[in-house]
């Protein structure tokens, strides 16, 4: 490491102490695996290999193959004190994104439940209106039947009788419309809340 103190890439890798490197080379589809191995000159060897190839970015791996850090070539050229992207930062970002998606899904579900409740109320109102319309048609048919049943009534008497029947039917109480049932409130896990 002493000979490569000025190499920012080696400095960044030395901080995370990887077991191997997965190097992504410009123009190659599959990354190259570079084991660090043991020995005093391993950092010099890695520095020489990286200088010899046109690498774009590399992943510092632990013994199990897990990514410890990501180092980008353009960051190392521009900023001598550049730090590798830490996996902890990626995990933090993933947690933030998960929370945002969960909150967005909860809001979307609440909006859907509100819209469903409103649609249920509208449909119930239409059903009730159709019931009132059906009652009006029934009353009209009864009036017509009453008028036809009294052909021997004096002139104008049938009409007077029809008006009496209409007044009697209109004074009858109408059935009250059923109240719309709202969707039960629930928390973000879908469990009903009291």
Cβ atoms within 10 Å, residue 10: 20
Length reported for the chain: 194
Residues forming a β-bridge with 34: 21
Please give the DSSP secondary-structure letter assigned to residue 156. T
d(CA 111, CA 119): 12
Instruction: Check if the beta carbon of residue 181 is closer than 8 Å to that of residue 119.
Output: no
What was the pLDDT predicted at 80? 47
Give the residue ranges of the chain where pLDDT is below 70.
Answer: 1-6, 76-90, 147, 149-162, 172-194
Statement: the pTM of the whole predicted model exceeds 0.75? no
What was the pLDDT predicted at 104? 92
Q: Please choose, from the candidates 82, 62, 66, the residue with its C-alpha nearest in 3D space to the C-alpha of residue 74.
A: 82
Instruction: Check if the beta carbon of residue 72 is closer than 8 Å to that of residue 26.
Output: no
Cα 161–chain centre separation? 66
Write phi, then psi, for 59 (nearest 5 degrees).
Answer: -115, 130
What was the pLDDT predicted at 162? 67
Exposed, middle or buried by CB within 10 Å (0-12, 13-18, 19+), for 133? Answer: exposed
What was the pLDDT predicted at 155? 57
What was the pLDDT predicted at 81? 46
Please give the DSSP secondary-structure letter assigned to residue 26. T
Query: With b meaning 16 or more CB within 10 Å and e meaning fewer, what string describes 29-68?
Result: eebeebebeeeeeebbebbeebeeeebebbbbbeeeeeeb
162-171 per-position pLDDT tens digit? 677 777 777 7
Using only C-alpha atoms, the chain has a radius of gyration, in whole angstroms, of 41
154-193 per-position pLDDT tens digit? 555 566 666 777 777 777 666 666 665 655 555 556 566 5
What was the pLDDT predicted at 39? 74
What was the pLDDT predicted at 188? 56
């Amino acid at each position: 490491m002493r000979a490569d103190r000025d190499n920012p890439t080696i400095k960044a890798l030395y901080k995370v102490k990887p077991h191997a490197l997965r190097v992504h080379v410009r123009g190659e589809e599959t990354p190259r695996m570079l084991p660090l191995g043991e020995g005093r000159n391993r950092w010099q060897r890695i520095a020489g290999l990286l200088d010899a190839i046109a690498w774009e970015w590399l992943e510092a791996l632990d013994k199990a193959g897990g990514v410890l850090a990501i180092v980008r070539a353009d960051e190392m050229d521009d900023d001598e004190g550049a730090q590798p992207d830490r996996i902890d930062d990626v995990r933090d970002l993933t947690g933030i994104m998960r929370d945002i998606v969960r909150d967005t899904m909860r809001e979307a579900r609440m909006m859907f439940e509100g819209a469903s409740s409103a649609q249920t109320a509208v449909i119930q109102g239409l059903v009730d209106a159709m019931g009132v319309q059906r009652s009006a048609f029934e009353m009209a048919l009864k009036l017509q039947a009453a008028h036809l049943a009294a052909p021997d009534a004096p002139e104008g008497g049938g009409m007077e009788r029809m008006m009496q029947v209409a007044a009697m039917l209109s004074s009858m109480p109408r059935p009250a419309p059923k109240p719309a049932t709202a969707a039960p409130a629930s928390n973000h896990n879908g469990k009903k809340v009291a």
